[in-house]
Structure 1
Amino acid sequence: MLRSLKVPLKRYCSRHFQKDLMAGLTVGVISLPLAMAFAIAAGVKPEYGIYTTIIAAVLASLFGGSRYQVTGPTGAFIPILLSIVLVHGYENLLLAGLLAGIILIVMGLLKMGTLIKFIPRPVTVGFTAGIAINIFTGQIANFLGLTGIQGHEGFIDSIREILLHLDTLNPYSILTAIVCLALILLTPRFLPRIPGSLVGLLASTALAAFMYPGQVATIATAFGGIPGGLPHFALPAITVDKLEQLIRPAFTIAMLGAIESLLSAVVADGMTGTRHNSNRELIGQGIANIVTPLFGGIPATGAIARTATNIKSGAVTRYSVVISALFVLATLIVLAPYAGAIPLASMAPVLMLVAYNMSEHQAFFAILKTRSNSSSVLVVTFLLTVLANLTVAVEVGLLLAMVIFVKRMSDILVVTKVLPNPENHLSKVAAQSRLDTHDCPQISIFSIEGPLFFGAAQMFSASIMDTIQYNPRILILRLSKVPFIDLTGEDHLRTIVESLQKRGIMVLISGLNDQPQKILRTTGLAERIGKERFFVHTEHAIAYAMQHADAKCCSRCRERIFDGCDAKSEAVANEVPA
């Protein structure tokens, strides 16, 4: 067995290790400052972000369904994590992350990975833009060097807190932040291979440390520095009361984590031509989020920017992510004492640019310009994310999108009266006046187009009953263009059938598709109508109807709607039984 393992290992080292090593080191350099920045923005110590970057990246890479996915703390989580910390505390944040991991695993086991794609884009763009606004405004205080700021869950309260403390503005902090921001923006132009955030942090930290020491808040003064040791295992305290309080925030973390990680995996597929396993990815993310809190880490998800960097840097296998995590771990052990000198003002522009990049402002304004129902969903989700919270925003956004979708689908359903045209093809009757002068007194034919479900069932029922201005002997329903019937639609169809049968009207069905046919058989409506009254084609239903039409009525009729009308009249004239 050992011998069989040597060949793949040797092949990997010779073919892929060098590429994975370079990609891993590049991702590690980028991940380190972001890990600290995201943790600080979420209201916890910076080392917790580093622990998350190490543990979650390794576990999600090894157990997830995407070869190139880089998992860690992300900007999308900042508002919800900060809210949990402010309301419930850091210890309960760990428990919420653990619960979210369990939910993710359950989602993966239930094969729900493919369902995430059904979340409307206006909802995802809306809450992503809202999150970006919250991240950006959350860093204004650090950018300006304001002191005495109290953390608030709400956007308006946070803005009010900033305005109340503008008199504490620190020009040294502003200078530090501007230098960092300028270097982040300029570095890609002149040194494209070096991460701009790293250059900005190092240069602005050196500026603050040597030019005006002690004049700006740093990680050391705010959090007591970063410990250089390994994280310790600790099981969060679990009680029934805590579970009840945290299950909703945990569900929000799980849903947001699933969306972000699967979107990131889709981006990776597009860049590499590979195909990820969405359900396995959810399970991998779940395992990462269960284990990470046990070592003090915060919730994590797939990071689109770091995943793209991993691919662009030449990653070949999932071990590039493991290498990046090992690099962050080594850096933590070696350089932790020096990280405390990083100014909070240097972290602010890093996060502000993250917020700008994740805002999807182009997609936001593109949807907004449509001035459609989708733009309404976008605006509502965006405003609720900013002014309320992400949980409410996603719930209301999805509900509104669903209502609009149901309305659109109900508008698709069309119920029309049809008659044969001169070429003997069934065509729609455009005006009621034609029905008054040219119609069969015994046989009515209705064509139904569109799904017959709860949103359209009432309109379907009303259309049929209102259009029948008399009591025909036979009613033919053409259902070949009805792809789907739900139980509400079946109930309205049953009501129509039973009402007509009580009036002595025979109901025939033509062109029934497989799904509606299965529903009618299961509910017993097919038996109520009569199995012999279902036809593959409408002409067969018309032939059956002609056999059961009143011959004497046909002899008095001069309309001659159907081909068989003349034969029916001649049979009566010759006193031949029809």
Structure 2
Amino acid sequence: MAIAIASGVTPDRGLYTSIVGGFLVSALGGSRFQIGGPAGAFIVLVLATVQVHGIDGLILATLLSGLILLLAGLLRIGTFVKYIPYPVTVGFTAGIALIIFASQIKELLGLTLPSAEPGPLLPKLDALWQALPTTNAAAAGLAGLTIAVIIFLRRHRPHWPGLLVAISLASVLAHLLALPVETIGTRFGGIPDSLPAPHLPSTSFEKIVAVLPAAGAFALLGSIESLLSAVVADSMTGRRHRSNCELVAQGIANVASSLFGGICVTGTIARTATNVRSGARGPVAGMLHSVFLLMFMLLAAPLASYIPLAALAGVLATVAWNMAEKHAFSTLLQASIGDAVVLLASFLLTIFRDLTEGILIGFVLSALLFLHRMAQAVEVESASLLLEQDSADTANGNDRRPYDPALATDRDVIVYRISGAFFFGAATSVAAALDRIAEHPKAYVVDFSAVPVIDSTAAVTIEGFVRKTQRQGVAIYIAGARSPVRRTLLLHGVRRPLVRFKATVGDAVSDAHAVIAANSQP
């Protein structure tokens, strides 16, 4: 209910989401321990969608996001979600946590604003600062009490339902003392005592096009959040989830949630971890979670009217604090300049621009930094320089066989080793290194045994070097190339009669000497 209210919708929609969507996530998902429902990470996106497209637009976007997730799972795209870099997830999660906390300051302090609360962070903080004199001491006290009870129980009674105890205590105090605070009843009129009948949201082509970007953002964040939650469950239980099956279940759950008027469904890390710690053994625990929520609606809906909004704001404040991975954020800032740049870009873009931009820009920066680091790891070295390194590696326990020392004095056959992932990022530096080769032997042997992968740009670079040396009358041998590497080279013209492939450097050197000897005979 707290997440639904913070998202700009009524609290009952949060319950519909957990009951319908949560049941299907547990029943059909690829993780045996996943708990599905509304998540704090979606608050920013859902609130923005409601403000722009209204409730009908939100429901339609949720339906479309479910179809996108369903399609992604069927196309087996779930395996690629794991490639979202860690600094990006820490950055946007911390950004969302800050936005959630800022959105709850009004309720935490019981402030009265002269107009609607601004959406962007800086104008929001300015408006809240101007409204600070209107602080409601009773609301602030209840919020503080709620946070204190949650923290106390988490430390001293971790198996107790701390959130429920804190909310119940705050509600009882607010009612018995007749405190002048807003409640679910005074603002929303309570919650219904049954589920609504399923129905399709109103649609049109223009409306679908308008909400499609929001649906894509829901699907992207939902896939990341749910699969991260499944990974957390795996680490706690020792089991392995099925990522594509999980995405299919998330898709079905979002479609069903929208039909009942619910909002976005995803796997929730905190609730899933609680499920595991409470002794769950399979998906039935998650399904019962939804059944208990349904029973609450059917039997105890009138009690929800007494819940103070300040207490719910206290719950969300603790959620935001736990979402922000403070230690991870600090560690990444100190790890390297690259990680710090990616982290801060994702964090600041999420706060001041848009969550989707934060994820995409952070991902692009991470990819560029990775390519730069991989390109720096590719080296071209002659056998004479590598002899001492290989001997040292062997002494240190490296089982890579060193080159024959005789190669250092061989003037007829020169051996060069390329090491590392040879791709477009390293092609220019490798080409420059090959162009700088000053020797004029009768044969070159290029050792590819330390090249795990090669792309078309790198293959074309080798093809250019081969043709250049052929014009100089020098034979070329490629040794130790793995099957995929050899296939790429052959595809781009690196084949006989330009070059000869050999299994080892020794075979290539022996063959080169035999050809040289044969050619030198009258």
Whether the 8 Å contact between 1:416 and 1:428 is mirrored in structure 2 is: no
1:543 lines up with 2:510 in the alignment: yes
1:296 lines up with 2:261 in the alignment: yes
- Looking at structure 2, the residues matched to 484 and 242 of structure 1 have their Cα atoms a distance apart, in angstroms, of 46
1:208 lines up with 2:177 in the alignment: no
Whether the 8 Å contact between 1:417 and 1:428 is mirrored in structure 2 is: no
- Looking at structure 1, the residues matched to 211 and 417 of structure 2 have their Cα atoms a distance apart, in angstroms, of 52
Number of the residue aligned with 1:574: none
Q: How far apart are 1:528 and its partner, in Å?
A: 5.8
> What secondary structure, in the 3-state scheme, does the structure 2 residue paired with 1:526 have?
coil
Whether the 8 Å contact between 1:86 and 1:153 is mirrored in structure 2 is: no
Cα deviation per residue 1:459-508 (whole Å; 9 max; x = unaligned)? 11111012x23554432211111110111111212222223323433222
Q: CA RMSD in A?
A: 2.5
Whether the 8 Å contact between 2:159 and 2:278 is mirrored in structure 1 is: no
> What secondary structure, in the 3-state scheme, does the structure 1 residue paired with 2:477 have?
strand
Number of the residue aligned with 2:26: 61
Which of residues 305, 311, 330 in structure 2 aligns to 1:346? Answer: 311
Number of the residue aligned with 1:111: 76
Q: How far apart are 1:189 and its partner, in Å?
A: 5.3
Number of the residue aligned with 1:175: 141
> What secondary structure, in the 3-state scheme, does the structure 2 residue paired with 1:147 have?
coil
Number of the residue aligned with 2:38: 73
Change (3 A) 1:512 1:169: same
Q: How far apart are 1:305 and its partner, in Å?
A: 1.7
Matched residue type, 1:449:
S
Matched residue type, 1:142:
E
Whether the 8 Å contact between 1:176 and 1:345 is mirrored in structure 2 is: yes
Q: How far apart are 1:452 and its partner, in Å?
A: 0.9
Q: How far apart are 1:47 and its partner, in Å?
A: 0.3
Number of the residue aligned with 1:276: 241
Whether the 8 Å contact between 1:180 and 1:349 is mirrored in structure 2 is: yes
Whether the 8 Å contact between 1:155 and 1:387 is mirrored in structure 2 is: yes
Which of residues 467, 478, 489 in structure 2 aligns to 1:520? Answer: 489
Q: How far apart are 1:132 and its partner, in Å?
A: 0.9
- Looking at structure 1, the residues matched to 58 and 467 of structure 2 have their Cα atoms a distance apart, in angstroms, of 58
Q: How far apart are 1:190 and its partner, in Å?
A: 5.8
1:459 lines up with 2:429 in the alignment: yes
Whether the 8 Å contact between 1:86 and 1:152 is mirrored in structure 2 is: no
> What secondary structure, in the 3-state scheme, does the structure 2 residue paired with 1:534 have?
strand
- Looking at structure 2, the residues matched to 107 and 393 of structure 1 have their Cα atoms a distance apart, in angstroms, of 21
List runs of 5+ in structure 2 lacking aligned partners.
392-401
Which of residues 348, 365, 369 in structure 1 aligns to 2:334? Answer: 369
Q: How far apart are 1:193 and its partner, in Å?
A: 4.1
1:389 lines up with 2:354 in the alignment: yes
Matched residue type, 2:21:
A
- Looking at structure 2, the residues matched to 425 and 312 of structure 1 have their Cα atoms a distance apart, in angstroms, of 55
Number of the residue aligned with 1:152: 118
- Looking at structure 2, the residues matched to 181 and 428 of structure 1 have their Cα atoms a distance apart, in angstroms, of 74
- Looking at structure 1, the residues matched to 76 and 339 of structure 2 have their Cα atoms a distance apart, in angstroms, of 28
- Looking at structure 2, the residues matched to 203 and 231 of structure 1 have their Cα atoms a distance apart, in angstroms, of 30
Taking the TM superposition and a 5 Å limit, the aligned residue runs for 1:473-484 are 473-484=442-453
Which of residues 187, 190, 198 in structure 2 aligns to 1:222? Answer: 187
Number of the residue aligned with 1:494: 463
Cα deviation per residue 1:254-303 (whole Å; 9 max; x = unaligned)? 22212221222222223223222221111111110111111111101111
> What secondary structure, in the 3-state scheme, does the structure 2 residue paired with 1:415 have?
strand
Q: How far apart are 1:426 and its partner, in Å?
A: 4.8
- Looking at structure 1, the residues matched to 406 and 135 of structure 2 have their Cα atoms a distance apart, in angstroms, of 74
Q: How far apart are 1:309 and its partner, in Å?
A: 1.9
Q: TM-score, normalised by structure 2?
A: 0.91
Number of the residue aligned with 1:258: 223
- Looking at structure 2, the residues matched to 425 and 252 of structure 1 have their Cα atoms a distance apart, in angstroms, of 54
Cα deviation per residue 1:73-97 (whole Å; 9 max; x = unaligned)? 1111111211222222221111221
Whether the 8 Å contact between 1:128 and 1:359 is mirrored in structure 2 is: yes
Whether the 8 Å contact between 1:181 and 1:349 is mirrored in structure 2 is: yes
Greater shift in the superposed pair: 231-240 or 375-384: 231-240
Whether the 8 Å contact between 2:463 and 2:492 is mirrored in structure 1 is: no
Which of residues 77, 86, 106 in structure 2 aligns to 1:121? Answer: 86
> What secondary structure, in the 3-state scheme, does the structure 1 residue paired with 2:264 have?
coil
Matched residue type, 1:356:
W
1:96 lines up with 2:65 in the alignment: no
Matched residue type, 1:425:
Y
- Looking at structure 2, the residues matched to 360 and 328 of structure 1 have their Cα atoms a distance apart, in angstroms, of 29
Greater shift in the superposed pair: 69-78 or 155-164: 155-164
Taking the TM superposition and a 5 Å limit, the aligned residue runs for 1:20-59 are 36-59=1-24
Change (3 A) 1:511 1:223: same
Whether the 8 Å contact between 1:101 and 1:288 is mirrored in structure 2 is: yes
Figure out how many residues of one structure are paired with residues of the other and give that number.
Answer: 508
Matched residue type, 1:294:
L
List runs of 5+ in structure 1 lacking aligned partners.
1-35, 430-434, 553-567, 569-576
- Looking at structure 1, the residues matched to 470 and 429 of structure 2 have their Cα atoms a distance apart, in angstroms, of 21
Q: How far apart are 1:328 and its partner, in Å?
A: 0.8
Number of the residue aligned with 1:562: none
- Looking at structure 1, the residues matched to 486 and 119 of structure 2 have their Cα atoms a distance apart, in angstroms, of 53
Cα deviation per residue 1:211-230 (whole Å; 9 max; x = unaligned)? 234x2222223223212232
Matched residue type, 1:543:
S
Change (3 A) 1:188 1:415: closer
> What secondary structure, in the 3-state scheme, does the structure 2 residue paired with 1:509 have?
strand
- Looking at structure 1, the residues matched to 216 and 151 of structure 2 have their Cα atoms a distance apart, in angstroms, of 36
Whether the 8 Å contact between 2:444 and 2:474 is mirrored in structure 1 is: yes
Whether the 8 Å contact between 2:448 and 2:481 is mirrored in structure 1 is: yes
> What secondary structure, in the 3-state scheme, does the structure 1 residue paired with 2:82 have?
helix
Change (3 A) 1:200 1:409: same
Fraction of identical pairs, as percent: 40
Change (3 A) 1:546 1:190: closer
Change (3 A) 1:372 1:86: same
- Looking at structure 1, the residues matched to 327 and 4 of structure 2 have their Cα atoms a distance apart, in angstroms, of 28
Which of residues 207, 211, 214 in structure 2 aligns to 1:246? Answer: 211
Number of the residue aligned with 2:403: 425
Which of residues 321, 327, 331 in structure 1 aligns to 2:286? Answer: 321
